[in-house]
A and B are shown apart, each in its own frame.
Chain A
Amino acid sequence: MNKTPKAIALISGGLDSLLAAKIIQEQGVTVEGINFFTGFCVEGHTHAIRKKDQNKSKRNNALWVAEQLNIPLHLVDIIEEYKDIVINPKHGYGANLNPCLDCKIFMVSKALEWIECSDYEFDFIVTGEVIGQRPMSQRKETMPVIAEQSGANDRLLRPLCAKNLPETLPERMGWVDRDQLFDFSGRNRKPQMALARQFGFDDYAQPAGGCCFLTDQNYATKLADLWQARGEKTYELDDIMLLKVGRHIRPKPHFKLIVAREEGENRFLQGYKKQFTSMQPVSHGGPLTLLDGVPTDDDLKLAAQITARYSQGRDADSVTVEVIMNGQSSELHVSPLPAQDVMSEWMI
């Protein structure tokens, strides 16, 4: 053929997608990366907020991978469209609220849609999937499901396990040499690590994957609580961001508190004060608390007592808490709630 074939590689920022793109690049194919932001990506988020995470690398691993490969990376916001995947997964959830199979189908279909709508003329799609590596989405029987239901069919190439799968279009067309692809399978990461060494990559993101908050049990519990309290499975971006921050305490079914755990979270929650009733101790140092719900006067008092419980005045007889509700400021003088009165079932 005359033109150099072009592939778009799904880049999560993990080792597998790095290797998959590299394998194809090594075969003379022009590769560009695409990264989808769902709102649930672990990347970055909490690192930016909490002091304990301040020393962690704040690099975006997808950008970092693109730099290692010297390829352009297209970042695509799919927050709105992704809601339907989280709320109504056709193939169900994994261990938590992770709709992994639907997610993979969706991302490949979005990549296909993106290349068909763009002017770049890509020939095929590359992913870092490995048969048997993930219990829900990366199994022998789900590989064809992803290819078919995404619409990519034989334009989808998985270089790390291609030899365990039927031949694809880029192989048949001679754009890619099947003999130089791999037959990895299972959860063993050693073959990938060996290949990484062979390519000279000695620094890469978490080898075991895990880049989505929906796979996290604590996070999934908070999301399920949000849906239960609302009486429907809906969310906005702010909702899912706030689930990553603070202590979440639901003393009564109709309201929840988000209590900052440290200065970084205080600063982050400041940005949400206009959207929620908020409170913060003024007589003592203490956390900013957001109240999600419509509180009665008794609820406000209880919320202020809980807020005081987490303040430097926790042992004081009285703590003054400023409450801002509907733009109106007032003060409550409360006794901090004793630790034993903060019910364990309130903690989400």
Chain B
Amino acid sequence: METQHSLDTRNLLCPLPVIRTQNLVKTLNPGETVEVVGTDPGIMNDIPAWCRINGHEVLESTTIENEYFVCLKVGD
């Protein structure tokens, strides 16, 4: 899906993709969207968990071959 920002965390292992996501989201405004791509399947659990804790919304998560994509919308 179309997002305003993208974050490449390929070859990073959790929790680094979550930390990079957290650090990017800190710089964004509510409502902005981000697509995170990674190769660690852990992001499919960790980024949604991080979003739930911090009030962000997961819009979509998909797996294409060995890559994992999570799209999120920054919360208020």
Contact = CB atoms under 8 A, between A and B. Distances in A.
Given A58-B14, A60-B14, A67-B49, A267 B66 contact: yes
Interface in B1-46: 10-11, 13-16, 18-19, 22, 39-42, 44-46
A81 B52 CA distance: 29
Interface residues of B, number: 22
A280 B25 CA distance: 40
B53 interface: yes
Interface residues of A, number: 28
Contacts of B10: 271
B63 to A, nearest CB: 13
A162 B1 CA distance: 51
Contacts of A268: 11, 39
Given A43-B15, A63-B50, A241-B13, A267 B39 contact: yes
User: Helix, strand, loop or mixed for chain A's interface?
Assistant: mixed
Interface string A216-247: 00000000000000000000000001000000
B62 interface: no
A48 B42 contact: yes
Nearest to B23: A77
A75 B14 contact: no
Nearest to A49: B13
A64 interface: yes
A58 B63 CA distance: 15
Contacts of A67: 49, 52-53
Interface of B: 10-11, 13-16, 18-19, 22, 39-42, 44-46, 49-50, 52-54, 66
Closest 7 CB pairs of A and B: A271-B11, A44-B14, A48-B40, A63-B49, A58-B42, A60-B46, A45-B13
